[in-house]
Chains A and B, each alone.
Chain A
């Protein structure tokens, strides 16, 4: 490979270019492993994996939103709304399938609304999804009547804690396991990574983000792609909400506050371009885990959560500036 100017680049720089964030993730893991007490313990790794699932799951579809040059803030309130709806249907005697379907359908409707408004009416995605975010937040409270709803459906609680593989310690307790939400997250990483790289839908997404008018004139069905992206985004956010509620045992309209920003920052941190056209699942995975590990390490080091905000913000700003520098070169 050669740089834009045609000059051959140093192999190390080229590696940084291609896998900058993955490298940083690797260094971060090694540093934390040796400096942060308990970081490498099976229990902490289990925790860490579980912690990043919500952000990770939604980031898989946020990748498409960003790659197509769009943006979705409404996921931040769709997560609690999905959980609340699922819990509500179960509370009123519905079965698990109905409850989950209701939650996902709600997510689909909100996503469809986002998509149609953005694609057909050409309204700025920031404003559109900011509006639906508020509406969904209100609706979640309305559904839950302002309270959190307990879940007593055994199948769901059991599913949320289903794990494979389960490794026991000597005393018979659980040493390490990977639970269903983590598997779902990993599965979505693989699935949407494949969709982005290897399907027309994914390639068209990147083309739209890279140059929407050129894509339209090349025969790409721009509106269809955009609306589909937002709809899937809604469904996946609601799914993340159901899994979170199942894990916590309650549908709580107050959970996951501000998660939309964590999700978008994880993507951007990994190298997904905010202006569209550039994105890969490996970037998202790196971003999600860097954010997750920093948070996890700070918790282990007992750093006050107020400082954590400052650190996370600074990391994001640094990453974006690094990216800008990389592109300017």
Chain B
């Protein structure tokens, strides 16, 4: 292995989004007839790499060599034509169509424009047999369990002559039996000479299934292990976490006051085990977990944005009945959303409007007439104190950079009287400079006595900001660690999914 030129070679693949470099010159090779794992934390660049490979987001610079031929795909059709298929976590299938139609969609066998049902059925059945599936080709896809749908997706890729097949965390919603079956199919594909790129978070899958492994971190290539013989899980974790958590955060401990937020036995959608937490005034609690661990869901429950099925919340010792976000805001419990575009800003309104949206009702006159003087003064005050870069308060917020949008959202809450601040991925998609400004704002608020929960997928960020760290795994809190005992390895170990009992 490794002597022949790799079948698939990434060459300096770079992807720059406004303000963020998602991939910074990634180069490595994948051999034909091998299963190559791709690992990294959330945001390390795995998904971006797959999107570049599938043609859905062309790289900014760089290229792929496939069988020695330089390629850049500008559409999924181009990628498909070159024999590349990516199988995403969310399958791209049409539930209301039959299995056969899904597999051959776009190149259905026809007779002068009329679909040849018989050929369609037979070809589908043959294709599925190769994968060891005996599904009725005329079955509606919606009736299949997720494991079989994945097989349909694989069959679809194979009928298009895919030679390079990438899987994006394919086992995340499969049962142990389905996983075994999937692994057998993947091994079969390897035997047929396919190139398999396998993205996963699960350590044990790598050692069970894969031949080689590449680790990405912060959009950069860390290391490629051509063989896994001498690789240990500990080594991979170190590669994934890697960087020194230098004191770019400027953390210093501060005195904590009485309890700001008390959460007891909270349950709801996405939070499978009752969660109990306490955050003191002036304390920053980091909440770490992989994507899908239930962090955002938990914050939304605490904010009243989603209904709680059990449990209670106290702010400064007083019980808060949470029927809607308004109740939370009235109690001084506020939430900065993870998805700024969808849930944070009102893009077509001005910076001033976005800033004053929540606080203005406390300053109206005659029961509802806006106090223009307050509106102007408050917008100016927040823009100044948070250093929002905007030409005027009247500028539409959608024209601001992500970091400045985030500061406006913070300004929205700082215009109200806050006691507890829930921050969900406060620096996602924000450039380094604005990031450190936001960290300083967080520390300042904590010094002023606000209780803060920071959710982040960025482990160094959590470790750099938090006084204490709670780790979530699969909808439950798996550990709460003090700053001193929270090493990256320990936190990550608590966040990674537990091994599933699988017999293969």
Contacts and interface: CB of A to CB of B under 8 A. Distances in A.
Contacts of A305: none
A200 B358 CA distance: 10
Contacts of A4: 396, 399
Interface stretch (A35-43, A157-165, A210-218, A251-259): A210-218
Contacts of B303: 217
Contact of B348 (A198, A217, A278): A278
Nearest to A208: B346
Given A210-B348, A219-B329, A200 B391 contact: no
Given A198-B369, A199-B368, A207-B353, A217 B346 contact: no
Nearest to A210: B346
Given A211-B345, A213-B343, A216-B305, A203 B360 contact: yes
Given A217-B337, A218-B357, A219-B325, A200 B348 contact: no
Interface string B310-324: 000000000000001
A199 B370 contact: yes
Given A207-B353, A213-B342, A217-B337, A199 B358 contact: no
Contact of A221 (B326, B337, B360): B326
Contacts of B460: none
Given A2-B391, A217-B325, A221-B326, A200 B346 contact: no
Interface in A198-249: 198-201, 203-204, 206-207, 210-211, 213-221
A198 B364 CA distance: 10
Given A198-B369, A203-B370, A211 B347 contact: yes
Interface string B324-357: 1110010000010100001111111100010001
A210 B347 contact: yes
A204 B346 CA distance: 11
Nearest to B391: A2
A224 to B, nearest CB: 10
A220 B368 contact: no
A206 B349 contact: yes
B381 interface: no
A207 to B, nearest CB: 5
B349 A200 contact: no
Contacts of A193: none
Given A200-B368, A203-B370, A207-B357, A217 B349 contact: no
Interface residues of A, number: 24
B361 interface: yes
B310 to A, nearest CB: 22
Contacts of B36: none
Q: Name the residue in B342, B364, B368, B391 with the highest tally of chain A Cβ atoms < 10 Å from its Cβ.
A: B368
Interface on chain A toward B: helix, strand, loop, or mixed SS?
Answer: helix
B342 A219 contact: no
A213 B344 CA distance: 8
A278 B342 CA distance: 17
Contact of B364 (A2, A200, A211, A221): A200
A277 interface: yes
B412 interface: yes
Contacts of A213: 342-343
A277 B342 contact: no
A273 to B, nearest CB: 8
Contacts of B399: 4
Q: Name the residue in B335, B344, B396 with the highest tally of chain A Cβ atoms < 10 Å from its Cβ.
A: B344
Q: Name the residue in A204, A219, A277 with the highest tally of chain B Cβ atoms < 10 Å from its Cβ.
A: A219
Contact of A214 (B342, B360, B391, B396): B342
A204 B364 CA distance: 13
B360 A218 contact: no
Interface in A125-172: none
A214 B344 contact: yes
B353 A217 contact: no
A108 B379 CA distance: 37
A203 to B, nearest CB: 7
A213 B324 CA distance: 12
Contact of B368 (A201, A206, A277): A201
18 contacts: A198-B369, A198-B370, A199-B369, A200-B370, A206-B346, A207-B349, A207-B357, A211-B342, A211-B343, A214-B337, A214-B342, A214-B344, A214-B346, A216-B305, A216-B324, A217-B325, A221-B324, A273-B348
Q: Which 9 A-B pairs have the closest CB atoms?
A: A210-B346, A219-B329, A211-B346, A199-B368, A277-B348, A218-B357, A218-B358, A219-B358, A219-B326
Interface of B: 303, 305, 324-326, 329, 335, 337, 342-349, 353, 357-358, 360-361, 364, 368-370, 372, 391, 396, 399, 412
Given A198-B369, A206-B346, 19 more contacts: A198-B370, A199-B364, A200-B368, A200-B370, A203-B360, A204-B357, A207-B353, A210-B348, A211-B347, A213-B342, A214-B343, A214-B346, A216-B324, A216-B325, A218-B325, A218-B412, A219-B357, A220-B358, A277-B348
